[in-house]
Amino acid sequence: MTDPVEQGYFTEESSADVVVSRNATAEDARLKEVMETIVRHLHAAVKEVEPTQDEWMKAILFLTDTGQMCNEWRQEFILLSDVLGVSMLVDAINNRKPSGASESTVLGPFHVADAPERALGDDICLDQKGDPMLVKGRILDIDGHPIAGAKIDVWQANDEGFYDVQQKGLQPDFNLRGVFRSNEKGEYWFRGVKPKFYPIPDDGPVGKMLGALGRHPFRPAHLHYIIEAEGYETLVTHIFDPDDPYIHSDAVFGVKESLMAEFIWVEDAAKLSAAGQDAPYFEVEHDFVLARG
């Protein structure tokens, strides 16, 4: 009896082997390896699920709708990757850290390049809306030594859960964004407003999928950081409010226990005076540890 794979005959049993064999002459070895893995897992999933023709067409139309939703401002495929946990898995694989180094998390879609550089202690909230917040901490190496001159790019949503780029004309440009440099002790501090949880865009096919799965689209309140220093790996990360209602069910799986930072309400007169505040505020303190490059 002839071997269906050798003959190139496609059967239910030989499907993956036949498709993989057709790629045997690929010049790019990495592409060949990746495609073999994808084909084998995809065919195995189809054989396990045994979709009907109508179900498979629904899957095709879902991917079609996802692509058609993409434009200059919206990347629905990244959103799909996010809610399936793939973005965080790729991030984890590419950002394995030595013990003691701060963990990374996803960049998110709302980073803006060339945010203004500000002095330590400056307020990044330009419209003064929301509960005031003081954020402080240190940038350290693995051995606990301070890293001076580290570039700290921060951004956050406002007290309604919106970034400035989502509310052009309603928020000032570069609202709740800024770049800071750690001092000789590795310290950083700046002012902002307490962020709020917010939904990822859920008006497209990915949002409909979440609804069908009984999942919500919310991300817990957080602050974004990109921290760079010469001789060290760049750190892309967040800090999260542990008391947020969505802290254990982040729609994109970005929360890590080590990135929790308490948002402490301060109203003691002596502490207000020492912090240069004339009204109660939230205080957040979190140190970051960079791995050597």
Summarize pLDDT for 29-60 with one digit per residue, the tens: 999 999 999 999 999 999 999 999 999 999 99
Contact 272, 289 (CB under 8 A): no
Taking 70 as the pLDDT cut, the residues of the chain under it are 1-7
Is residue 70, in this structure, part of any structural domain at all? no
pLDDT of residue 3: 66
- Which residues have C-beta within 8 Å of that of residue 223, sequence separation ≥ 6? 135, 154, 155, 156, 192, 195, 238, 239, 284
Q: How far is CA 24 from CA 33, 66, 84, in A?
A: 10, 31, 31
Q: Is the pTM of this model over 0.95?
A: no
Query: For the chain, what percent of residues have pLDDT higher than 70?
Result: 98
Same domain, 165 and 211: yes
* Residue 56 belongs to some domain of the structure: no
How many structural domains does the chain have? 2
User: Quick check: 83 and 252 in contact, CB under 8 A?
Assistant: yes
Burial letters 29-68, b for 16+ CB under 10 A, else e: eeeeeeebeebeeebeeeeeeeeeeeeeeeeeeeeeebee
Residues 195 and 92 in one domain: yes
Residue 104 is assigned to a structural domain of this protein: yes
Same domain, 111 and 250: yes
How far is residue 195's CA from residue 45's CA, in Å, rounded to a whole number?
A: 41
Same structural domain, 256 and 193? yes
**Which pLDDT belongs to residue 277?**
83
Q: Domain limits at 7?
A: 1-50
Q: What is the structure's pLDDT at 109?
A: 85
Q: What is the distance of C-alpha 86 from the center of its chain?
A: 11
